Amino acid sequence: MRYIYLIILGLFFSVINMEANNSASISLVPCPTNVVPGTGSFQFTPKTVFAVETEEQAAIVRLLSDQFTCAAGFTPKLKVDSKKGNLVLQTDKTIKSEAYCLEITPKKITVRAADAKGFFYALQSIRQLLPPAIESAVKVDGTEWIVPAMTITDEPRFGYRGLMVDVARFFVPKENLLRIIDCMGMLKLNTLHLHLVDDNGWRIEIKKYPLLTEIGASRVERPGKLFPERRNQRQGEPTVEKGFYTQDDIREIVAYAAARRIEVIPEIEMPAHTNSSLAAYPELACPVVDRFVGVLPGIGGKNSEIVYCAGNDSVFSFLEDVIDEVSELFPSKYIHLGGDEASKVNWAKCPKCRARMEAEHIEHTEELQSYFMTRMSNYVRSKGKEVMGWDELTNSTLPEGAIIYGWQGFGKAALKAAAQGHRFIMTPARSLYFIRYQGPQWFEPLTYFGNNTLKDVYTYEPVQEEWNPVYEDLLMGVQASMWTEFCNSPDDVEYQLFPRLLALSDIAWAKKGTK
Ligand code: ACM
Ligand code: ZN
């Protein structure tokens, strides 16, 4: 009997507790650094005036006022170079970059930040505090457009808060990618890493090499077959175009992302995962390759061992030309050169690769990859950009300054780079690969590699106790990686992304221990 009383008492207190939390709790993802609830609420009406100091701020505010136009059926007025309004933006250089202070009272909303990023994030908080109907593309009647009074001071934990989207395996149409970018902005993520190239498709127009998309963006259809079951293309078998971004598309994507304070990092894979470009230009493979090279519809078996020849100078001039166009298209200071899972079987047999090793005094084919990556890295650096790569780059001498993405062994592979003073980003397959199942495997659509549940993502903590303290300074941040081998529609990609992307945003932004 006593136990029953205890249980009832326990339930009673937990209800009280929930209520207390509910009134105080503010639904914001990622969790802000500090929130002090106020009294009452601010209501947006057709009379509301947004006052901003600059055109740059006006562009940020317009993203929110456009939402009012669609969902509320009215557009708040916007005054540029003005301090008088109901929602006022004020530059405050004492605040850190990306951070903001948001004060909401029933009369006025004041936003303070040092830069556009801070203002953008403050407005995303307002966006989340509004009724969900603010996301509607059509007018919603009967909604009070209110946000509760409060004061938020907020700043991110990590400077790099990323999502990688593999648009090579499944080509994500531009409109769907823009939607993902908008969601990223709402969640205060600031980096989109585009995996543009793989064995299964080349997805970016390169003017100098039209066959990259004429051939490399198409592949054979294997209806009803899942990725691992799809047989390779036979010579002469017809292919179907699966899509690519034109250079105008890329400019539009980059601009759309920039408006949401998101940097787009292009990844041009090398020396492996390159069957799509080798299908277009087979002379770039080692001359010992005697089989037909097509764009792979699936895993590819032995064909996935076919990589660029490291002994052929034309390979480097080809890649330099590609990098020239890519660097023009993406203003990001980074270019990701891939470098993962490169088979060396053909290099070991290839007379050109062997001649290169001899000339460069290289003993092992693993070091030949270092030669390859370093040569391309030097080219990228000569263009004023920094190089990024997967953690396989730590298997041989690292290119100078290369930033490493840790994906293997809970991301530990990247610590080999950190031990040599290199910056790194954590995207461990075991926690942050969104290709994995997010629920029971008997229930979820078929995919690869075990589970990464919402809780697995949410409880991931990149900084480990046993780390040398300098590693924490070299850690730029975290990234979820959305590999799309099992996606066959844009909906499949969204299904895998959500709700886990919210958990990612919290681990990327919220202070340790405050999620
Ligand atoms: C990778 O998952 N191969 C980077
Ligand atoms: Zn070769």
Distance 197 CA to ligand 2 centre (A): 20
Section 202-222 average pLDDT: 98
Distance 343 CA to ligand 2 centre (A): 12
pLDDT in tens, 277-287: 999 999 999 99
Section 288-293 average pLDDT: 97
Name the catalytic one among 229, 328, 341, 360. 341
Distance CA 289, CA 16 (A): 71
pLDDT value of residue 7: 40
pLDDT value of residue 290: 94
Res. 249 pLDDT band, cuts 50 70 90 = very high
The protein residues having their C-beta less than 5 angstroms from ligand 2 (an ion) are 286, 309, 311, 350, 352-353
Distance CA 330, CA 313 (A): 26
> Does the pLDDT at position 3 exceed 50?
no
355-364 long-range CB contacts below 8 Å, 24 or more apart?
A: 355/311, 356/310, 356/311, 357/311, 364/396
Section 419-440 average pLDDT: 97
Distance 312 CA to ligand 1 centre (A): 25
Distance CA 181, CA 254 (A): 10
Q: Give the ligand 1 atom nearest the CA of 338.
A: 4
pLDDT in tens, 368-424: 999 999 999 999 999 999 999 999 999 999 999 999 999 999 999 999 999 999 999
> Does the pLDDT at position 110 exceed 50?
yes
Picking from 82, 140, 73, 502, the residue whose alpha carbon sits closest to that of residue 494 is 502
Structure tokens at 230: 């799809």
Structure tokens at 414: 């990247």
Res. 305 pLDDT band, cuts 50 70 90 = very high
Query: DSSP H helical segments within 435-499, as ranges?
Result: 454-458, 469-474, 490-497
Structure tokens at 148: 């509760």
pLDDT value of residue 448: 87
Picking from 385, 387, 311, the residue whose alpha carbon sits closest to that of residue 352 is 311
Residue in 341, 405, 426, 482 to alter for ligand 1 test, most ligand atoms within 8 A of Cβ: 341
Q: At what angle do helices 490-497 and 174-186 cross, to 10 degrees?
A: 20
Residue recorded with tokens 């303290």: 469
Section 3-23 average pLDDT: 38
Pocket of ligand 1 (CB under 6 A): 340-341, 390, 407
The DSSP 8-state label assigned to residue 58 in this structure reads H
Residue 481 amino acid letter: S
CB of 388 closer than 8 Å to CB of 334: yes
More confident residue, 486 or 448: 486
Q: What percent of the chain has pLDDT over 90?
A: 94
132-135 long-range CB contacts below 8 Å, 24 or more apart?
A: 133/71, 134/67, 134/68, 134/71, 134/72, 135/67, 135/71
The overall average pLDDT reported for the chain is 94
Name the catalytic one among 98, 103, 155, 198. 198
CB of 91 closer than 8 Å to CB of 106: no
pLDDT in tens, 476-510: 999 999 999 999 999 999 999 999 999 999 999 99
Section 432-447 average pLDDT: 94
The DSSP 8-state label assigned to residue 388 in this structure reads E
Section 24-47 average pLDDT: 91
Distance CA 319, CA 58 (A): 40
Q: What percent of the chain has pLDDT over 70?
A: 95
Section 212-231 average pLDDT: 97
Closest Cα to atom 1 of ligand 1: 340
Q: Give the ligand 1 atom nearest the CA of 481.
A: 2
Distance CA 345, CA 338 (A): 19
> Does the pLDDT at position 21 exceed 80?
no
Closest Cα to atom 3 of ligand 1: 340
- In 3-state terms, the chain is what percent helix, strand and coil (to 5)? 40, 20, 40
> Does the pLDDT at position 14 exceed 70?
no
> Does the pLDDT at position 232 exceed 90?
yes
- Annotated active-site residue 198? The verdict is yes
H or E element that contains 2 = helix 2-24
pLDDT value of residue 155: 98
Residue recorded with tokens 């790194």: 424
Distance CA 64, CA 126 (A): 9
If you compute the radius of gyration of the chain from its CA atoms, what whole number of angstroms results? 25
Distance 11 CA to ligand 2 centre (A): 70
> Does the pLDDT at position 22 exceed 90?
no
Distance CA 481, CA 375 (A): 27
Section 470-477 average pLDDT: 98
CB of 375 closer than 8 Å to CB of 316: yes
Residue 266 amino acid letter: P
Distance of CA 341 to the CA centre of its chain: 21
- Annotated active-site residue 321? The verdict is no
Residue in 340, 447, 484 to alter for ligand 1 test, most ligand atoms within 8 A of Cβ: 340
pLDDT value of residue 25: 56
Instruction: Please tell me whether the peptide bond between 271 and the residue prior to it is cis, using omega within 30 degrees of 0.
Output: yes
